[in-house]
Amino acid sequence: MRSASPLGRRLARLAGGAGLLAVAGMLYLLVRYLEQAGPAFVANRLLLPALSIAIVVLILGLAAVLVRNLVRLVMDRKRGILGARLRTKLVFFFLALVLPSAFILFYGSATIIKMTVEAMLRTPIERIITDTQGVAQQWTAHLMRDCETHARRLAANAGALGPETLEAARQEAELALLAVVPANGPPRIARDAVWAARLAPSTSWRELAREALTEGRAKRRLEQIGGGLLAQAAVPLPHGQGAVVAGAFLAPAEAARLESIAATAEAYRQFRAQRRELVALYLSLIGLIFLVTVFGATWVGFYLSRRITDPVRELAAAAREISGGNLAVRVRAQVGDELGELVRAFNEMAAQLQESQEVIRRSTAELRRSMGALEERRRYIETLVANLSTGVLSLDPQGRVTTVNPAVERILGVALQLRDAARERLQAAGHAPLVAVLDEATRSGRQTAVRQLTLHRGDEAIAVAVQVSPLRGPEGAGLGTLVMIEDLTDLLRAQRAAAWREVARRIAHEIKNPLTPIQLAAQRLRRKFRERAPDLGEVIEQASASIEREVAGLKRLVDEFSRFARMPEVAPEAVDFRQVVRSVLDLYGGLPEVEWEVHFDEGVGVVRVDPEQMRRVLINLIDNAVRAMEGKGRIRIAASCPRGPGSLRVEVADTGPGISPAVRAKLFVPGFSGQPRGGGLGLAIVHRVVTDHRGSIRVEDNEPRGAKFVIEIPA
Amino acid sequence: MGVALGVALAAGGGPAIGSLEVGRSQGGLSVRFDLEGVWSAELLERVQSGLELTFRHRVELVGKRIGWIFPRRTLARTVVETTLRYDSLTQRYEFVQRVVARRWAGPAEAAGPAVRRSTDAGDEARRWMTRLEGLPLPAPEAVGASVPVRVRIRSELDRKLVLGLFPWTRTVSRETLWGS
């Protein structure tokens, strides 16, 4: 809908206001005129038609305005223009408010006017006026009859009457005028009545005389002269000789009373004769006021409704603009009431939104730059992680894979995908020890678990170092688990090679050590024999004893290595592990200064292990513990089945000096010994037996002191 | 029409113009007609209340239309106004008849002198108001009429109210037949 410009609307308002003022002014002037003019205003031939035309024009104007605005309202409502409903309600409210009251006022006023007019006509005033005027007319008629009587009396001898005689007769009859008008010739007038004859209209008494002469009968007439009244009568003379005219004069004071009576009677009769027009005129006036009121109410209704709805419509349009993203829009409606407050608040809100949008735009740009940097950083880290030789695996709290790098598959031989259930996939791939570490870390919650495990990638056994750390958010919330897996196989292989070199060196050294005494003993024997020394026998005895001793040492050394080399394949069978432990402890009954503590959980019972090998494992560990404590202290042996029946966890703890981290790294390497007299094969044998059972072994610090070996074997 | 103009019949019912006669007088035309059915008790009451009663009569000499496209030509027009007023003090009727406009082909001529009469007889006063005599029009040849002409009368009488609110002036009209 096209709306008028502000200037156009202002001009229209001014024109409407000026029109209403003009109509109101016209009504005011009309009422003033009616007040001054009295009932005679009805005689004005232009007034009533002008009022009628004004009413018709106003009716047409009102109808046009109403139809135009109502059509606009209907169109606006059909178009869904905001405010149309409110405007319709307001306009109809005003019409409903004004129309009935105005109509009742109009109808009531009209009824009252009609009743008043009719009541005035029914009152005794008409009879009073009629009677009063009758008396006045009888009085003037009496005067004219007297004049006629005097005129008839003189008419008998009028031919002999001269001015003096006429004057005497006039005086005798107390007339104002007495004259004889001959058919031919100048009239004869009583001497002192000339003034009356002159005052009377020149044609008056002469015409009256001629009328009487013409008609042959007496004629009477009342004339206004000099502020008074002249009652006249003319009587024809016999034989058509002329006529006698007699007149009596009523003084102005008396004449004024008669005139007043006549004027009052005229006014009343005019009122009665014009009562319909009078009522019509009053009704026209009231109708005009009614129409002006309705017109004004309608106009005010439209004006007020527009004053309310225009800002609302502008607000809605601006809100739509803002919702469309145009925050620069402002409402320009200038209103001073609460709507003005609303408009100002809306504009302030739009300004703040615009400012906020600018801030957001700048922040978004900054954020985009930061996101770009972060993305670049993320790609860098992803590349870094992907190229790490260490396997990196992160899991969500439900154990699903959230990050995995290629090293994991390379190390574990398991192609984990994002959102895979890591535990099930690893378990299915035979990496139970790793699953056990994950479970342990999950149970412990906050601690980082570091384990060295032997896993099997197909038929290949691999050694890995596993570090499992809980992932925490900024507020400490658990985000999952980070698993870092490092393939130690090559490293350990290298370490093992180095260890074997060390073993070879030590073996060589151990072999070389006895060789020297043997060589010296042999050389001493040869020298004593050449010297034929008397103590040859003693020397032979001593030398052979020394050689035997050293050879025995060599033999022990060789036997030990033979045993390590001859370790058989594990042959698991169902055995009661408690019996295995007890049979080992029976061997150490002769250590009085060692305090033993043995603990079996309820579930520990029959497990599938090689009993001889496991006995060897326990003996080696207990031997190490006794040696570390130098035969004095406390040894605790505990067995449990943390992962259900068939699984086994064995702890062997002592209260010795403990094992330093540097020693721990090489503890299970063959030939390495943390003790001066150790052969360096015991723990290597232990490690081999455990890994042959697909288990794991690790060393921890014992509380409050000492070392603790933990063996875990899956079911 | 005593001259050559026949009189058309008036429409029946209500006020009407009757006895329309057109005669020659002093080189021109003299029109006479009567107003019939005009004088009523209501009108008499208005007159006797002292209100002035005025009738306006428009007397025209019109020429016949040539073809269908041209309007009828008004060759001459005389507008006469008659006024009657009753003086309740002297109990006399004052009658005035004057020509308020006169136009024929040429510049308008000044209105003639008013005719004033008075009487105390109501019948005579009524006759003065309802009988118009000697209303002047120029002769057709004097205004150059070369086509048939007729005399048309239109009288504006008293005022009535339509729907009790809107004033309306009663009018009657009549015209002669076409003549020369």
φ, ψ of residue B102 to 5 degrees: the values are -145, 120
The string of DSSP codes covering A260-279 is HHHHHHHHHHHHHHTHHHHH
Looking at residue A541, its pLDDT comes to 87
| CA A57 – CA A68 distance, rounded (Å) | 16
The answer to whether A148 and A218 are in contact (CB under 8 A) is yes
| CA A447 – CA A472 distance, rounded (Å) | 12
| CA A382 – CA A378 distance, rounded (Å) | 6
Please provide the distance, in angstroms rounded to a whole number, between the alpha carbons at the two ends of chain A.
Answer: 86
Looking at residue A319, its pLDDT comes to 87
- pLDDT at A201 > cutoff 70: no
Residues of chain A neighbouring B120 (CB-CB closer than 8 A)? 221
Looking at residue A42, its pLDDT comes to 56
Look at residues A670, A679, A683, A674 and name the one whose alpha carbon lies nearest to residue A656. Answer: A674
Tokens 């309306």 sit at which residue?
A: B168
Non-local (6+) Cβ contacts of A642 within 8 A are: A649, A712
Residue of B nearest to A42 (CA): B51
Binding-site residues on chain A for chain B (CB distance < 8 A): 43, 45, 48-49, 52, 55, 133, 137, 221-224, 229, 258-259, 262, 265-267, 269-270, 272-274, 276-277, 279-280, 283-284, 287
Q: Does A370 or A301 have the greater pLDDT score? A: A370
Non-local (6+) Cβ contacts of A105 within 8 A are: A286, A290
Look at residues B179, B173, B175 and name the one whose alpha carbon lies nearest to residue B15. Answer: B173
Residues of chain A neighbouring B91 (CB-CB closer than 8 A)? 137, 222
Are B167 and A49 a contacting pair at CB < 8 A? yes
To the nearest whole Å, the CA of A3 is away from the closest chain B CA by: 39
- pLDDT at A92 > cutoff 90: no
A394-423 pLDDT per residue, tens: 999 888 999 999 999 888 888 999 999 998
For A137, which of B52, B91, B161 is closest by C-beta distance?
Answer: B91
For B89, which of A49, A258, A276 is closest by C-beta distance?
Answer: A258
Residue of B nearest to A49 (CA): B167
For A265, which of B51, B88, B165 is closest by C-beta distance?
Answer: B88
Token pair for A372: 């770009």
Alpha-carbon distances of A400 from A122, A431, A436, rounded to whole Å = 113, 16, 16
For residue B9, what pLDDT band results from cuts at 50, 70 and 90? very low
- Judged by DSSP in three states, B89 sits in coil
- pLDDT at A364 > cutoff 80: yes
% of residues, chain A, pLDDT over 90: 10
Please provide the distance, in angstroms rounded to a whole number, between the alpha carbons at the two ends of chain B.
Answer: 11
Are B49 and A45 a contacting pair at CB < 8 A? no
φ, ψ of residue A112 to 5 degrees: the values are -65, -40
The Cα angle at residue A373 between residues A368 and A378, in degrees rounded to 5: 120
Are A48 and B167 a contacting pair at CB < 8 A? yes
Residues of chain B neighbouring A270 (CB-CB closer than 8 A)? 49-51
Helices (H) and strands (E) in chain B, counts: 2, 9
Residues of chain A neighbouring B94 (CB-CB closer than 8 A)? none
The answer to whether A487 and A389 are in contact (CB under 8 A) is yes
Are B165 and A284 a contacting pair at CB < 8 A? yes
Looking at residue A621, its pLDDT comes to 92
| CA A401 – CA A421 distance, rounded (Å) | 6
- pLDDT at A390 > cutoff 60: yes
Q: What is the mean pLDDT of residues A612-639?
A: 90
Q: What is the mean pLDDT of residues A141-168?
A: 82
To the nearest whole Å, the CA of B22 is away from the closest chain A CA by: 31
For residue A69, what pLDDT band results from cuts at 50, 70 and 90? confident
| CA A232 – CA A204 distance, rounded (Å) | 9
pTM for this one? 0.51
- Judged by DSSP in three states, B104 sits in strand
Tell me which of B165, B168, B169 to substitute to probe the interface with A (most A C-beta atoms closer than 10 Å).
B165
Name A710's bridge partners.
A651, A698
Alpha-carbon distances of B146 from A391, B22, B71, B143, rounded to whole Å = 131, 19, 15, 9
Question: Which amino acid belongs to residue A449?
Answer: A
A247-290 pLDDT per residue, tens: 888 888 888 888 888 888 888 888 888 787 777 777 777 877 77
How many CB pairs below 8 Å do chains A and B form together? 64
Summary mean pLDDT of chain B: 81
| CA A267 – CA A43 distance, rounded (Å) | 12
- Judged by DSSP in three states, A697 sits in strand
User: Which of A98-102, A352-356, A702-706 is the least confident region?
Assistant: A98-102
Q: What is the mean pLDDT of residues A229-247?
A: 87
Beta strands in A441-571 (DSSP E): 449-457, 460-472, 478-487
Are A269 and B91 a contacting pair at CB < 8 A? no
The answer to whether A708 and A699 are in contact (CB under 8 A) is yes
Are A280 and B161 a contacting pair at CB < 8 A? yes
The answer to whether A218 and A245 are in contact (CB under 8 A) is no
| CA A389 – CA A566 distance, rounded (Å) | 36
For A273, which of B49, B164, B167 is closest by C-beta distance?
Answer: B49
% of residues, chain A, pLDDT over 70: 91
For residue A485, what pLDDT band results from cuts at 50, 70 and 90? very high
This model of the complex carries an ipTM of 0.77
B48-106 pLDDT per residue, tens: 888 889 999 999 998 887 766 666 778 888 899 999 999 988 888 999 999 888 777 55
Looking at residue A638, its pLDDT comes to 94
For residue A203, what pLDDT band results from cuts at 50, 70 and 90? low
- pLDDT at A365 > cutoff 90: yes
- pLDDT at A509 > cutoff 50: yes
Residue of B nearest to A274 (CA): B46
- pLDDT at A223 > cutoff 70: yes
Are A266 and B45 a contacting pair at CB < 8 A? no
Looking at residue B11, its pLDDT comes to 46
Looking at residue A38, its pLDDT comes to 58
- pLDDT at B154 > cutoff 90: yes
The answer to whether A570 and A616 are in contact (CB under 8 A) is no
For B46, which of A259, A273, A284 is closest by C-beta distance?
Answer: A273
Looking at residue A654, its pLDDT comes to 94
Neighbours of A21 (CB within 10 A): 10
Are B120 and A262 a contacting pair at CB < 8 A? no
For residue A455, what pLDDT band results from cuts at 50, 70 and 90? confident
Non-local (6+) Cβ contacts of A572 within 8 A are: A608, A609, A610, A693
Q: Note the residue count of chain B.
A: 180
For residue A40, what pLDDT band results from cuts at 50, 70 and 90? low
